[in-house]
Amino acid sequence: MTSPSLLAQAREWQVLLNSGRATAADHEALEAWRRAAPEHEQAMRQVENLWALLGQVERPQELPSIARVPGRRRRTARWAIPLASAAMLLLALWLPQGTWVGLYADVRTAPGEIRELKLDDGSLLTLNGDTALDWQFSDNRREIRLYRGEADFQVAPDASRPFLVEAGPARIRVTGTRFDVNYTGERVDLAVTHGQVQAGAERQSPVPVSANQQVQWRDGRLQAVQPLDAQQRLAWQRGKLVFRDRPLAEVFEELDRSQRTRVLFLDDEARKLQVTGVFALDDPQAVLRAVEGNLPVRLVRLPGLILVASRD
């Protein structure tokens, strides 16, 4: 199965090539990316096949600019048609990713929804927006599978029944403590606020993660344990979004949980721009205004979609 991160990269290549902005260098870079690994070629073919199923949207060659009307400022229409086509493709590509997961999960939250859930054993879960999970309890174990999103776990103590959380490559084992798990599809973040948990992965021995510590899984592997910055990492539990020199790509990952609008980056330069600020969790538009007003990026808003590109 092609990984979600490779499919995301392939989607961005396909949208860029059909945006009317792709240069000869972009085409050469894509060919180099496809040749870099068989998995890259497979991901690109999957995206191209879906594009074809959508009706083989015609690539525009060169769109005319709209003439300026005296006394009024008018923007050109260079992006209008290709971006509409890109939006159609992107929404179709994203639906399976989020919709089907939600169908087979025991519980799910909508973007912007925060929900508390009390389990049969007395454990309390707080789910962030756009989260999906299910659980299975037996006489000797308690199991949670987090398909996407973020949840805070306050686990009822029971030494005879370990509490296990699976999120992508992450395997987390506790008997009674409090911790937060954030699963984006590309990485997993664990933050422990009380007690201690055992964090591991396939073919990796578990390591202890104690209160006020955090750890990540990247590319399927457990990373080194780090001190926890709870003010930033757990700000969502206080109704806030706190960013300290966070890449813009990660900022928009957080916004996905509080709005139904998806985001697509058209170049890597925009992804890497740093963001610092404190915002209300229920006001994603404030983040968009701050990004647009303070960073060298352009946001193109379409129904259900925002395209992000570095300013020319």
Reported confidence tier of residue 1, pLDDT bands at 50, 70, 90: low
The residue with greater pLDDT, 154 or 54, is 154
Q: What's the whole-number mean pLDDT along residues 107-136?
A: 93
Q: Is the pLDDT of residue 64 over 70?
A: no
Supply the pTM of this predicted model. Answer: 0.70
Q: Is the pLDDT of residue 277 over 90?
A: yes
Residue ranges of domains in the chain: 4-104, 107-229, 239-310
Summarize pLDDT for 76-97 with one digit per residue, the tens: 444 444 444 555 455 444 444 4
Architecture of the domain spanning 239-310: 3-Layer(bab) Sandwich (3.55)
Reported confidence tier of residue 51, pLDDT bands at 50, 70, 90: low
Residue 77's CB is within 10 A of a number of other CB atoms, namely 11
**Whats the size of the chain, residue-wise?**
312
What pLDDT score was predicted for residue 103? 57
Q: State both tokens at 235.
A: 């700000």
Q: Which CATH class is domain 107-229?
A: mainly beta
Average pLDDT, the chain: 81
Q: Whole-angstrom Cα distance, residue 255 to residue 253? A: 5
Q: What's the whole-number mean pLDDT along residues 215-244?
A: 93
Reported confidence tier of residue 114, pLDDT bands at 50, 70, 90: very high
Instruction: Please state which of the ranges 178-187, 252-261, 269-278 shows the lowest mean pLDDT.
Output: 252-261
Instruction: Please state which of the ranges 35-49, 180-194, 195-209 shows the lowest mean pLDDT.
Output: 35-49
What pLDDT score was predicted for residue 113? 92
Reported confidence tier of residue 3, pLDDT bands at 50, 70, 90: low
Counting residues of the chain whose pLDDT is more than 90, the rounded percentage is 47
148-151-152 Cα angle (round to 5)? 165
Looking only at the bridges linking them, the beta strands covering 163-167 and 142-154 are: parallel
Q: Are 83 and 308 in contact (CB under 8 A)?
A: no
Q: What's the whole-number mean pLDDT along residues 204-215?
A: 95
Q: Whole-angstrom Cα distance, residue 73 to residue 68? A: 7
DSSP string, the chain: ---HHHHHHHHHHHHHHTTT---HHHHHHHHHHHHH-HHHHHHHHHHHHHHHHTT-PPPPS-PPPPPPPTTS-----TTHHHHHHHHHHHHHHHHIIIIIHHHHSSEE--TT--EEEE-TTS-EEEEPSS-EEEEEE-SS-EEEEEEEEEEEEEPPP-TTS-EEEEETTEEEEESS-EEEEEE-SSEEEEEEEESEEEEEETTEEEEEEETTEEEEEETTEE---EE--HHHHTGGGGTEEEEEEEEHHHHHHHHTTT-S-EEEESSHHHHH-EEEEEEETT-HHHHHHHHHHHSSEEEEEETTEEEEEE--
Reported confidence tier of residue 40, pLDDT bands at 50, 70, 90: confident
Instruction: Please state which of the ranges 142-156, 210-224, 250-264 shows the lowest mean pLDDT.
Output: 250-264
Summarize pLDDT for 300-311 with one digit per residue, the tens: 887 677 888 888
Q: Is the pLDDT of residue 154 over 50?
A: yes
Q: What's the whole-number mean pLDDT along residues 140-163?
A: 94
What pLDDT score was predicted for residue 66? 32
Instruction: Please state which of the ranges 187-191, 192-196, 263-267, 296-300 shows the lowest mean pLDDT.
Output: 263-267
